[in-house]
C-alpha cells in the first residue's frame, strides 16, 4: 500500500482490478507472499511507465484472512474449465476475468484465489467488499519500505 493508507480500504471510488470492476464490485487484493507483492507492484509500475522511486514509500502489511466460500481458480486447469487462460500482464486481458469475478460475487463467494499475472508461481486473493466483520485483520504494524526492493525472480511484466 502507499504509505499511510488503510490496508483494508478500497479507495473512493473503488478501483478496477483483474477480477472486478470497481463500479460494480469493490475488492481488496492480497498476495501469498512478499515476492508476489513486489512482482505485482513492478508490473503496475511497468504498465504506467513509472520509475520505482516515484511510487515510494510503501507500507507492507500482514493480513490474517478468515473467509468462507472462496473460489479456487489457482490452477491452469481450473481456469480452463471456466474458459479462461492463465492470467498475464496487461489490462486487455481483464474483461473476461472481471465478468467471472462479478458472477462469483453475485453467486455468494466472498472472494477468489488465482495465479498472479506478474509472478505465475505466486497466488493472489481477491476479497470482495463488503465482507464479513473480522474476515480481514492486520496482524501488526506495517513495515515501511523507502527504497525499491530487488525485482523478484519469476517476475513477468
Mean pLDDT for 67-77 is 96
Mean pLDDT value across the chain: 95
> What number is the average pLDDT over the span 139-156?
94
pTM of the model: 0.94
What's the residue count for the chain?
Answer: 157
Res. 157: pLDDT tops 90: no
What pLDDT does 103 receive?
97
Q: Where are the domains of the chain?
A: 26-140
For range 78-92, the mean pLDDT: 94
Angstrom distance (rounded) from CA 34 to CA 64: 15
Dihedral through CA 63, CA 67, CA 70, CA 76, nearest 10?
30
Q: What mean pLDDT do residues 43-57 have?
A: 95
> 11 pLDDT exceeds 90?
no
What pLDDT is stored for residue 132 in this prediction? Answer: 85
Integer Cα distance of 147 and 140 in angstroms: 21
* Residues above pLDDT 70, as percent of the chain: 100
Amino acid at each position: 500500500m502507499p504509505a499511510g493508507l488503510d490496508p483494508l480500504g478500497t479507495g473512493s471510488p473503488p478501483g478496477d482490478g483483474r477480477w472486478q470492476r470497481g463500479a460494480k464490485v469493490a475488492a481488496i487484493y492480497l498476495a501469498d507472499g512478499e515476492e508476489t507483492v513486489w512482482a505485482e507492484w513492478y508490473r503496475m509500475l511497468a504498465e504506467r511507465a513509472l520509475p520505482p522511486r516515484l511510487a515510494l514509500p510503501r507500507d507492507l502489511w500482514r493480513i490474517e484472512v478468515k473467509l468462507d466460500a472462496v473460489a479456487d481458480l489457482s490452477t491452469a486447469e481450473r481456469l480452463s474449465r471456466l474458459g479462461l487462460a492463465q492470467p498475464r500482464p496487461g489490462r486487455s486481458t481483464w474483461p473476461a476475468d472481471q465478468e467471472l469475478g462479478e458472477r462469483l460475487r453475485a453467486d455468494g463467494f466472498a472472494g477468489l484465489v488465482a495465479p498472479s499475472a506478474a509472478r505465475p508461481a505466486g497466488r493472489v486473493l481477491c476479497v470482495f467488499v463488503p465482507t464479513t466483520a473480522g474476515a480481514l485483520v492486520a496482524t501488526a504494524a506495517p513495515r515501511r519500505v523507502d527504497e525499491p526492493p530487488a525485482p523478484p525472480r519469476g517476475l513477468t511484466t
